[in-house]
Structure 1
Amino acid sequence: MTGRVLITAGASGVGRAMAEVFALDGWRVWVADVDAAALADVPEGWCKTQLDVTDEAAVSALFSEVRDAWGGLDALCANAGVAGPTAAVEDINLQDWQACVAVNLEGAFLAAKYAAPMMKAAGQGAIVVTSSTAGQYGYPYRAPYAAAKWAVIGLTKTLAMELGAHGVRANVICPGAVEGPRMEGVLEREAAAKGMTRDAVYDGYASGTALGSFVEGRDVAEMAVFLCSDKARLVSGQVIAVDGFTVNPDPKV
């Protein structure tokens, strides 16, 4: 199946990689992103919308626009996320916790809420939610992020159960440490919190995987395209890590 895909946080990072691979596979692509500068740099031919995924009115308006422009939606990649604070749990304030959970969890919920009616009406569709290996393990110094990423797994499994009778599938991708600017920020903050160097934290993440490597955005994107394709027609409710097999989720030296 190729068709129409909407990707939140699709103008940069993993979302941009998803958009590029979907486009190469023949899909029509719509990216939504909070970053206006990143949106200005997307290729001609992609639809684009500036969006705060925690703003329900804006999310509702986006899906109405998609329905009016495209007549429906075949796939949703609920990819928006923020790293949140890197600190011991007692040092995290409630506002920072809430801001992290709002984007990572509520953003995915709102996207699914407004995608589901279109997909149910069509009797088919695929939803892919981006979680993290932080959604599979305890994750020191990243309490709000880990909590939200665990929660989206429960959300997605529930979507798979609710929507399966309507021909709609829902799956989770759990990337490992992905090369890029956001991870660089995490490395610096985690190094400061642990009294380590940035390079030591980086090496800890890489050596904590069986394949000894960070992940590239394209690795995650290829999995997303597969999960939205007919090749995965009976794959639903699954949690699939793209992480080189994490064997030690707490990088130490």
Structure 2
Amino acid sequence: MTAPDRPAIPADRPAFPGDRVAGRTAVVTGAGNGLGRAITLALVARGARVVAVGRNRERLDAVAADADGLAGGVRVAAADVSDPASVAALTGDLADETVEILVNNAGIPGPVAALVDIAPDEWDEVFATNVRGIYLMCRAFLPGMVERGAGDVINLASVSGKRPLTRRTPYTASKMAVIGLTTTLAYEVGPAGVSVNCLSPGPVQGPRMTRNFTLEAERTGKTYAEAEEAFVSRAALHRMLTAEEVAAAVVAMLHMPGLCAADIDLSAGMVAR
């Protein structure tokens, strides 16, 4: 993929436009629940047209219903980002869309076990969604951005990719891979005017963390409250994030036109290294 000459900014247009969301089309993966749902609703509320992508059509339809009446609009597209054929079909279905923003949020937590007890299929499943999914989606939608000389890609990683997280090696390894993918890809397409960045959230309130605390309590003999406290006590704000805070960070990153090849920690002050 050859980067074209960067188009000149017209004299009557400011170099740093105030709104970099309204009127643009964004694809958000893993949009059916959790962070993907929150990111979709935040972008729509600010006037973006969002293509909500996920494996569960019913959940995607529910998100679209929640977005009804907001400034932008939602188009639902069922796809499995880990499957090349499914992503190719998605690309064909969206041939009529000019995708200007790609938010690669889809991910799975994977097993909670010692590395020696993790089966190769379990390891591969985590990397197929968390890393290959980003590769396939970027491979599908970056050419159009490069050709137009503009675009934004935000990949969701995790602070867990940068510090020890016991019994979670597939997840943490996959998230560090996302960071490496992001920074290298940014240098490939940056000269064409496409910004690629990474957002690394800390623990977010929701079913996933409830599951983790439950398993940790069972493993250690602690109460659920003790397992949760041991975790959140590492954060300066002494709490977890909300999905809405992560979504707000995505919107903020899109309004930072000089941001490229960055990995931003959003962790309520949890030490990442």
Residue 90 of structure 1: CA displacement?
1.5
Residue 197 of structure 1: CA displacement?
2.7
Aligned runs of 1:53-202 on 2, under 5 Å?
Answer: 53-68=81-96, 70=97, 72-202=98-228
Residue 36 of structure 1: CA displacement?
2.7
Residue 109 of structure 1: CA displacement?
1.1
The answer to whether the Cα contact below 8 Å between 2:110 and 2:123 also exists between their aligned partners in 1 is yes
Rounded Cα–Cα distance in structure 2 between residues aligned with 1:193 and 1:96: 20
3-state SS of paired residue (2:95): helix
Name the TM-score, length of structure 1 as normaliser: 0.92
State whether structure 2 residue 247 is matched by structure 1 residue 221: yes
Query: How many equivalent pairs are there?
Result: 245
In structure 1, what residue type is equivalent to 2:177?
A
Rounded Cα–Cα distance in structure 2 between residues aligned with 1:133 and 1:148: 12
More helix by share: 1
Rounded Cα–Cα distance in structure 2 between residues aligned with 1:187 and 1:240: 25
Q: CA RMSD in A?
A: 1.5
CA offsets per residue over residues 84-136 of structure 1, 9 Å max, x none? 00111111111111111111111111111111101111110000000011112
Q: Percent identity?
A: 32
Residue 138 of structure 1: CA displacement?
2.2
Say if 1:248 and 1:24 are closer, same or farther in 2 by CA, change over 3 A.
closer
The answer to whether the Cα contact below 8 Å between 1:10 and 1:19 also exists between their aligned partners in 2 is yes
Rounded Cα–Cα distance in structure 2 between residues aligned with 1:36 and 1:133: 30
Kindly name which structure, 1 or 2, has the bigger radius of gyration based on alpha carbons: 2
3-state SS of paired residue (2:60): helix
Name the TM-score, length of structure 2 as normaliser: 0.86
Say if 1:85 and 1:33 are closer, same or farther in 2 by CA, change over 3 A.
same
The answer to whether the Cα contact below 8 Å between 2:202 and 2:268 also exists between their aligned partners in 1 is yes
Question: Match for residue 5 of structure 2?
Answer: none
Rounded Cα–Cα distance in structure 2 between residues aligned with 1:235 and 1:94: 37
State whether structure 2 residue 49 is matched by structure 1 residue 28: yes
Residue 248 of structure 1: CA displacement?
7.5
Question: Match for residue 241 of structure 1?
Answer: 265
List structure 1 runs of 4+ shifted beyond 6 angstroms: none
Q: Unpaired segments of 5 or more residues in structure 1?
A: none
Rounded Cα–Cα distance in structure 1 between residues aligned with 2:54 and 2:242: 20
Question: Match for residue 38 of structure 2?
Answer: 17
3-state SS of paired residue (1:46): strand
The answer to whether the Cα contact below 8 Å between 1:7 and 1:76 also exists between their aligned partners in 2 is yes
The answer to whether the Cα contact below 8 Å between 1:6 and 1:31 also exists between their aligned partners in 2 is yes
